[in-house]
Amino acid sequence: MEVKIRLNSVDDTQMLAEIISGYVFPGIIIGLTGDLGSGKTTFTKYLSKYIGVSDNLNSPTFTILKIYDGYYKLYHMDVYRLEDIGYDYELDEFIYGDGICVIEWYPYIKTMLPQEILSIDFRVIDEFTRDVTIKGEGPYEKIVKAISDRYCH
Ligand SMILES: Nc1ncnc2c1ncn2[C@@H]1O[C@H](COP(=O)(O)OP(=O)(O)O)[C@@H](O)[C@H]1O
Ligand SMILES: [Mg+2]
């Protein structure tokens, strides 16, 4: 299932993160795509707050993985640097762990990921506007459905 929504401000992105935070479960994988500056880290930052992370989340670009403590463990990855490599088996225990796994640029390690994830693509429309496409099948379909119910009347 797929839903497309328009976010007109950073507050809208925060609200999306809040909604999704209500549906996370141990082992969830959220894959993010979108150009640099489209909002992947901003979304993750808000999601982290809503799952009880008190540390300030920032971009993991130079470390690939950062781990945060909230109501769940949060594994925040940015696998942009793995573009030419395509995998990093040290990430396996986190991808298949029981925390919440958020992966910026997830297609670069697609072969390491399970078939089903929640994917969110951010497209920049203008300074504050983002068009977002959210997709999920199997256990993720109900999340997409819930988002759809909230936004599409
Ligand atoms: N609606 C919006 N959603 C998310 N970020 C936005 C939005 N409007 C403006 N921004 C700004 O765009 C930038 C997004 O940066 P960031 O989240 O680091 O992007 P990415 O991780 O995709 O490279 C931030 O400076 C943020 O304040
Ligand atoms: Mg980022």
Q: What are the tens digits of pLDDT across the range 32-64?
A: 999 999 999 999 999 999 999 999 998 876 789
Q: What atom of ligand 1 comes closest to residue 13's alpha carbon?
A: 3
Q: Which amino acid residue places its CA nearest to atom 2 of ligand 1?
A: 10
**Cα angle for residues 115, 120, 121 (degrees, 5° grid):** 115
Ligand 1 close to Cβ of residue 119 (< 6 A): no
CATH of domain 2-151: 3.40.50.300
The C-alpha atoms of residue 66 and residue 101 are separated, in whole angstroms, by: 10
CB atoms closer than 10 angstroms to residue 43: 26
pTM above 0.85, yes or no: yes
Residue 123, CA distances (Å) to 48, 93, 131 in order: 21, 30, 5
> Is residue 121 in contact with ligand 1, taking CB distance under 6 Å?
no
* Per-residue pLDDT reduced to its tens digit, 98-147: 999 999 999 999 999 999 999 999 999 999 999 999 999 999 999 999 99
The answer to whether the CB of 130 falls within 8 A of the CB of 150 is: no
